[in-house]
């Protein structure tokens, strides 16, 4: 920083001259002198010094205190009063102008320089504090939430513009006295009062939901976060944020309505539509079993029966997916083998020549899971069979412990047509791969992913032979060990 710039206001020329010499010798710059109140105000406005040395008693109708009042209203410049012992009758009046120091004439240079340095330092601190307060005020005015402060009795001492807009109060209402409890709907006030007491005692409360009330009596839901204001180790009030959650509540109601609607459709599919499919499937199957059924129509009925069965499978998959996402199925310690053996039997029952090789044995591999594990294994195996065009379908299923010994690692290695790198990233997400023509275009892999993740595991796919997708795929599961 450069030299501090000082304005001297003194009507005794000799004193003023001595002050200027001392100040200049002390390394400061005197930017001007004035000998009356009006000239002092004009000089301060024009020169904008860093500090003013102001004699209390000046020539003319106005004294230094009067000049200091005017300067304080217009400018933010620290003032040090110069006073004789006989002028102390003015000191009480001078206090209202908040001077930075008093120097008694005749002054001593040590006292003068100490007072100047302290005044300049305090002025810089005050300016930084004022800038910080202005920044805080500007930021809070931009917030869409209500920001507020109270005293220890709950009287509001500050709120931002959002608070006025949100609650319908005016500045006159605010200055007339408002309490934070007036922001709370009557049915929640007792609870709010109790919580305010807890916060003032130092207890931490994560956001608390209340029904809050506007000036016109209308209400809306909100969450209030608050913390005590601490001054000199004493809790002197509250500082908080009020967040309007009416939009969130409306969204929650819409989600709940959509959830009930989805449940209705799922129940409709899994019961009524599935029953109709079962009846249709039964009659088609009966036609195929009739000896007198014309052979030329058999292929058409078989195609129809196949599609009915596919529809039933889709309905079953949707029901399973819904149950997994809702977390309705509890997890227990189960043996992997029974679910795997059943899935192998299902895959081998398809009208293909299938070989499944695995070292999974009974009573050795346990996880925390449920009966849905069968769907995981079944979907992986039947997909591998479905998309393998070899005369003999060969699938190897290996199991080992993960590096951290927390999971069982299962690898389902097929010799099918393989999966592109792009498709590997989305193959387990039915929504992303809608319309794709590749392995596993149904819900099966999506269901497998959700089930595995509900266990706390993971699933992904790699090339069976690294770098050569045409050699088949390797679907990998990590299933948390169950002891």
pLDDT of residue 300: 87
Task: Compare 429 and 24 and report the one with higher pLDDT.
Answer: 24
pLDDT of residue 361: 94
Question: Are 162 and 147 in a shared domain?
Answer: yes
Specify which residues 332 forms β-bridges with. Answer: 369
Q: How many structural domains comprise the chain? A: 4
Question: Are 351 and 470 in a shared domain?
Answer: yes
Cα distances from 389 to residues 161, 380, 416, 468, in angstroms, run 70, 16, 7, 17
pLDDT of residue 49: 93
Where a domain ends, among 122, 139, 156? 139
Classify residue 14: in a domain, yes or no: yes
The CATH number linked to 11 is: 3.40.50.2300
Classify residue 314: in a domain, yes or no: yes
CA 330, distance to chain mean position in Å, is 30
pLDDT of residue 317: 67
What does the pLDDT average to over 128-146?
Answer: 85
* Banded pLDDT at 261 (limits 50, 70, 90): confident
The string of pLDDT tens digits covering residues 188-207 is 999 999 999 999 888 888 89
In sequence order, the 6+-apart residues with CB closer than 8 A to the CB of 425 are none
Specify which residues 209 forms β-bridges with. Answer: 223
pTM for the whole structure: 0.46
404 lies in which domain range? 332-480
Q: What percent of the chain clears pLDDT 70, i.e. is strictly above it?
A: 90
Which residue, 336, 326, 281, 329, is CA-closest to 306?
Answer: 281
The string of pLDDT tens digits covering residues 3-40 is 899 999 998 888 899 999 999 998 999 999 999 999 99
Classify residue 251: in a domain, yes or no: no
Strand order in the sheet with 146-151: 156-159, 146-151, 234-244, 219-231, 208-213
Q: Which residues of 82-116 are buried (b: 16+ CB within 10 A; e: fewer)?
A: bbeeebeebeeebeebebbbbbebebeeeebeebb
Per DSSP, the residues of 218-246 read -EEEEEEEEEEEEETTEEEEEEEEEEE-H
Question: Are 11 and 27 in a shared domain?
Answer: yes
Question: Are 338 and 466 in a shared domain?
Answer: yes
Report phi then psi at 263, rounded to 5. Answer: -60, -40
Token pair belonging to 203: 């207890």
155 vs 229: CA distance, rounded Å: 13
Question: Are 307 and 240 in a shared domain?
Answer: no
Mean residue pLDDT of the chain comes to: 86
The string of pLDDT tens digits covering residues 156-171 is 989 999 988 889 988 8
Count of positions (residues) in the chain:
483
Look at residue 325 and tell me whether its pLDDT is greater than 70. Answer: no
What does the pLDDT average to over 271-293?
Answer: 83
Strand order in the sheet with 353-358: 353-358, 392-401, 407-413, 468-480, 458-465
- In the three-class reduction of DSSP (H, G, I as helix; E, B as strand; rest coil), residue 158 is classed as strand
Question: Are 374 and 463 in a shared domain?
Answer: yes
The CATH number linked to 222 is: 3.30.450.20
Question: Are 103 and 154 in a shared domain?
Answer: no
pLDDT of residue 88: 59
In sequence order, the 6+-apart residues with CB closer than 8 A to the CB of 424 are 460, 461, 462
Look at residue 433 and tell me whether its pLDDT is greater than 80. Answer: no
Lowest mean pLDDT among 97-111, 121-135, 206-220, 347-361: 97-111
* Banded pLDDT at 87 (limits 50, 70, 90): low
Where a domain ends, among 297, 326, 355? 326
Radius of gyration of the chain (CA): 42
* Banded pLDDT at 273 (limits 50, 70, 90): confident
Alpha helices in 327-349 (DSSP H): 336-348
The count of other CB atoms within 10 Å of the CB of residue 284 is: 19
Classify residue 63: in a domain, yes or no: yes
435 vs 442: CA distance, rounded Å: 10
Token pair belonging to 239: 């500082």
With beta carbons less than 8 A apart as the criterion, state whether 50 and 6 touch. yes
Question: Are 222 and 269 in a shared domain?
Answer: no
- In the three-class reduction of DSSP (H, G, I as helix; E, B as strand; rest coil), residue 437 is classed as coil
Where a domain ends, among 97, 115, 139? 139
pLDDT of residue 101: 78
The string of pLDDT tens digits covering residues 227-247 is 999 988 899 999 999 999 988
pLDDT of residue 32: 93
With beta carbons less than 8 A apart as the criterion, state whether 151 and 157 touch. yes
Classify residue 249: in a domain, yes or no: no
Query: Token pair 């969204």 is at which residue?
Result: 251
pLDDT of residue 431: 56
Which helix (H) or strand (E) element contains residue 318?
helix 295-326
Question: Are 131 and 158 in a shared domain?
Answer: no
With beta carbons less than 8 A apart as the criterion, state whether 210 and 242 touch. no
The string of pLDDT tens digits covering residues 449-475 is 988 998 999 999 999 999 899 999 999
Query: Token pair 């053996």 is at which residue?
Result: 341
Question: Are 312 and 363 in a shared domain?
Answer: no
- In the three-class reduction of DSSP (H, G, I as helix; E, B as strand; rest coil), residue 253 is classed as helix
184 vs 221: CA distance, rounded Å: 10
Q: Which residues of 382-392 are buried (b: 16+ CB within 10 A; e: fewer)?
A: bbbbbbbeeee
The string of pLDDT tens digits covering residues 54-72 is 888 888 888 888 888 888 8
pLDDT of residue 483: 67
Look at residue 434 and tell me whether its pLDDT is greater than 60. Answer: no
pLDDT of residue 328: 60
Which residue, 10, 1, 2, is CA-closest to 112?
Answer: 10
With beta carbons less than 8 A apart as the criterion, state whether 428 and 445 touch. yes
* Banded pLDDT at 153 (limits 50, 70, 90): confident
Token pair belonging to 62: 């106005």
With beta carbons less than 8 A apart as the criterion, state whether 62 and 38 touch. yes
* Banded pLDDT at 438 (limits 50, 70, 90): very low
What does the pLDDT average to over 372-397?
Answer: 91
Question: Are 11 and 133 in a shared domain?
Answer: yes
Report which listed range, 121-130, 288-297, 355-364, is most confident.
355-364
Look at residue 440 and tell me whether its pLDDT is greater than 60. Answer: no
Lowest mean pLDDT among 25-29, 75-79, 362-366, 437-441: 437-441
Which helix (H) or strand (E) element contains residue 151?
strand 146-151
Alpha helices in 75-232 (DSSP H): 91-95, 109-142, 161-167, 171-176, 186-200
The string of pLDDT tens digits covering residues 344-362 is 998 888 767 999 999 999 9
């Amino acid at each position: 920083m450069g030299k501090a710039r000082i304005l001297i206001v003194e009507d005794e020329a000799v004193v003023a001259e001595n002050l200027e010499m001392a100040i200049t010798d002390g390394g400061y710059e005197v930017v001007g002198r004035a000998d009356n109140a009006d000239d002092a105000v004009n000089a301060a406005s024009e020169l904008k010094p860093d500090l003013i040395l102001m004699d209390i008693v000046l020539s003319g109708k106005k004294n230094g205190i009067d000049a200091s009042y005017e300067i304080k209203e217009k400018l933010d410049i620290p003032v040090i009063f110069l006073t004789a012992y006989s002028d102390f009758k003015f000191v009480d009046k001078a206090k209202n102008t908040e001077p930075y120091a008093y120097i008694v004439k005749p002054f001593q240079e040590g006292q003068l320089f100490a007072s100047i340095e302290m005044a300049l330092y305090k002025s810089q601190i005050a300016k930084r504090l004022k800038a910080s307060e202005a920044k805080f005020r500007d930021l809070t005015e931009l917030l869409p939430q209500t920001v507020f402060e109270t005293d220890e009795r709950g009287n509001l001492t500050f709120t931002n513009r959002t608070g006025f807009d949100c609650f319908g109060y005016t500045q006159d209402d605010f200055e007339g006295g408002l309490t934070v409890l007036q922001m709370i709907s009557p049915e929640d006030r007792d609870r709010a009062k109790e919580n305010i007491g807890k916060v003032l005692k130092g207890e931490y409360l994560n956001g608390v939901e209340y029904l809050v009330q506007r000036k016109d009596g209308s209400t809306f839901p909100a969450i209030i976060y608050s913390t005590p204001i601490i001054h000199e180790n004493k809790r002197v009030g509250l500082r908080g944020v009020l967040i309007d959650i009416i939009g969130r509540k409306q969204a929650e109601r819409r989600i709940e309505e959509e959830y009930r609607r989805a449940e209705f459709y799922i129940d409709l599919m899994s019961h009524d539509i599935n029953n109709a499919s079962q009846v249709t499937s039964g009659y088609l199957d009966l036609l195929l079993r009739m000896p007198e059924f014309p052979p030329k129509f058999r292929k058409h009925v078989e195609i129809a029966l196949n599609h009915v069965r596919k529809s039933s499978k889709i309905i079953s998959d949707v029901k399973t997916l819904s149950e997994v996402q809702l977390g309705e199925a509890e997890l227990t310690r189960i043996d992997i083998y029974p679910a795997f053996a059943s899935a192998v039997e299902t895959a081998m029952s398809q009208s293909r020549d299938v070989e499944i090789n695995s070292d999974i044995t009974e009573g050795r591999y346990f996880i925390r899971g449920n009966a849905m594990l069968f769907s995981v294994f079944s979907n992986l195996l039947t997909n591998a069979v479905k998309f393998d065009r070899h005369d003999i379908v060969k699938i190897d299923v290996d199991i080992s412990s993960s590096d951290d010994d927390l999971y069982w690692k299962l690898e389902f290695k097929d010799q099918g047509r393989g999966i592109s790198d792009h498709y590997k990233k989305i193959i387990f997400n039915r929504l992303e791969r809608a319309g794709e023509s590749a392995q596993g275009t149904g819900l099966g892999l999506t269901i497998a992913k959700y089930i595995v993740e509900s266990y706390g595991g993971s699933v992904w796919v790699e090339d069976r032979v690294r770098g050569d997708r045409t050699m088949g795929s390797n679907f990998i599961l990590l299933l948390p060990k169950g002891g």
